[in-house]
Amino acid sequence: MGEKQTFTHSVIQSFKIKQVDLLRFITAGSVDDGKSTLIGRLLYDTKNILADQMEAIERASKSRNVGEIDLALLTDGLRSEREQGITIDVAYKYFQTPSRKFISIDAPGHIQYTRNMVTGASNADLAIILVDARHGVVEQTRRHSLIASMLGIPHVIVAINKMDLVGNSEDAFLEIAKSYQELAAKLSIKDLTIIPVSALNGDNIVDRSANMPWYTGETLLSVLETVNVLKDQNTEDGRFSVQYVIRPQTEELHDYRGYAGRVQSGTFKKGDLIKVLPSEQESKIAKIEFGGNEIEEASVLESVTILLEDDIDISRGDIIVSLNNSPIVSQDIEALVCWMDDKKTLKPGNKYVLQHGTARSRCSIRDIEYQIDINSYEKLDEVESLKLNDVARIVLRTAQPVAYDPYQKNRSNGAAILIDETSNVTVGACMIE
């Protein structure tokens, strides 16, 4: 009992001393690449698997005659998936080490699930792209890398898995690393790390491998723990989409009018001069509040309430921006789109609802400029329509002006979704260019 308490105490102490933050990462690869095994291994080696979960997978491993304990079973979710032995949706797993909390986003790798990967990638700070050491860079690797780049994921780890099956050979690793770098040169990957691993044996995942003494770089977990996420944020361009107007209308708060929202980028301080878009009205920040208490300033991703000095007309869908740093305001938009509807196609002339920030506007598709073959990266011209999982550059016109930044400069204010007006389903992911 005494020993147990000491351990607890030290864990809690380490949380208190160190600032623990969150990292969201997506793992891309197919079942064959050992993706589920990799996640299982990370959870297992960081001691994040609980006793009853372990018993459950031991039971399941036995009933399926897979011999040893199958760590992949830890991330298998829904019954329909278990029956088919594949992951059909985006699944989330949570684990922690003394320095960070992790949200692992697990998306399927097959081409028919591109929309699931795009969905998972949209919120990721980092992507782990799995490559089977026996096969090297394949079509799927190219596809996953394109999606990671297009969705602006700042950090990419290429985990060359199953190194044990190629004799833990340094030459094999270097050859694959070289061909990956050639591929990456065509994309926009800001921070790339390539690591030789064996998820099955736990080599270079959490612990350094004795089987690959030639590898002197970081382990997978060490990269996950140290990547600087704060630096990825756009801290320059002040953007704040208004979600809701707080008007208590009580006697003591008769004139209170607070704009509730989340800082998408940049920072806001009391006294800052601002502009409201698309109306172009100008004012000054009178006060910033969090939970009803005044705070000095609000930075990226903080959910706060802004009060202005002037009584101007602002409602949900408006965006408050720094006065001298304006986004582009236009009704004509060019964007990369990933089409997500499995029933209907996207064609020029079609009308949708565009949701950007908290604003919604009807829009009509003017043109499909070109489609991108997500495996070969070739541009395909004269495309008439887009079907599920197609990626293309499109031109659209909105009914109301949209105040946006290019996606690659500002992920939060450059993203938008297309909604089908009749079914209300989300049918497209747009990265505004």
Residues between 179 and 238 with contacts to another protein, criterion CB under 8 A: 185-188, 190, 228, 230-236
Binding segment for another protein (CB under 8 A), chosen from 38-46, 197-205, 246-254, 394-402, is 246-254
Continuous segment of H or E residues that includes residue 366: strand 359-372
Q: How many CA atoms lie within 13 A of 345 on its CB side?
A: 10
The whole-angstrom separation of Cα 13 and Cα 113 is 43
Residue with Cβ nearer another protein (178 or 186): 186
- Contact pick of 37, 46, 116, 371 for another protein (by CB under 8 A): 116
Give the tokens for residue 136: 């090297």
Residue with Cβ nearer another protein (102 or 215): 102
Residue with Cβ nearer another protein (150 or 396): 150
Examine residue 112 and tell whether it contacts another protein (CB under 8 A): no
> What is the number of other CB atoms lying within 10 angstroms of the CB of residue 359?
22
Examine residue 134 and tell whether it contacts another protein (CB under 8 A): no
> Which 365-424 residues touch another protein, going by CB under 8 A?
372, 377-379, 406, 408-409, 411-412, 415-417, 419, 424
Examine residue 279 and tell whether it contacts another protein (CB under 8 A): no
Residue with Cβ nearer another protein (16 or 216): 16
Give the tokens for residue 100: 């960070």
Examine residue 85 and tell whether it contacts another protein (CB under 8 A): no
Residue with Cβ nearer another protein (40 or 154): 154
Least CB distance to another protein at residue 37 (A): 17
- With tokens 């690793």, the residue in question is 173
Written as one string, the DSSP assignment of 284-344 is EEEEEEETTEEESEE-TT-EEEEEESS-----TT-EEEETT---EEEEEEEEEEEE--SSS
Examine residue 277 and tell whether it contacts another protein (CB under 8 A): no
- Residues near 391 by beta carbon (within 8 Å), at least 6 away in sequence: 114, 146, 150, 336, 337, 338, 339, 371, 372, 374
> Which 296-325 residues touch another protein, going by CB under 8 A?
299, 301-303, 305, 316
- Residues near 266 by beta carbon (within 8 Å), at least 6 away in sequence: 234, 235, 236, 237, 238, 239, 299, 300, 322, 325
Examine residue 362 and tell whether it contacts another protein (CB under 8 A): no
Binding segment for another protein (CB under 8 A), chosen from 13-21, 131-139, 207-215, 361-369, is 13-21
Q: Quick check: helix, strand or coil at residue 97?
A: strand
Residue with Cβ nearer another protein (146 or 212): 146
- Look up residue 113 and give its DSSP letter: G
Examine residue 239 and tell whether it contacts another protein (CB under 8 A): no
Residue with Cβ nearer another protein (279 or 376): 376
- Contact pick of 53, 84, 226, 279 for another protein (by CB under 8 A): 53
- With tokens 């491993």, the residue in question is 61
Residue with Cβ nearer another protein (135 or 186): 186
Examine residue 139 and tell whether it contacts another protein (CB under 8 A): no
- Look up residue 355 and give its DSSP letter: E
> Which 332-351 residues touch another protein, going by CB under 8 A?
340
> What is the number of other CB atoms lying within 10 angstroms of the CB of residue 47?
11
- Contact pick of 85, 167, 213, 248 for another protein (by CB under 8 A): 248
The whole-angstrom separation of Cα 265 and Cα 397 is 25
Examine residue 281 and tell whether it contacts another protein (CB under 8 A): no
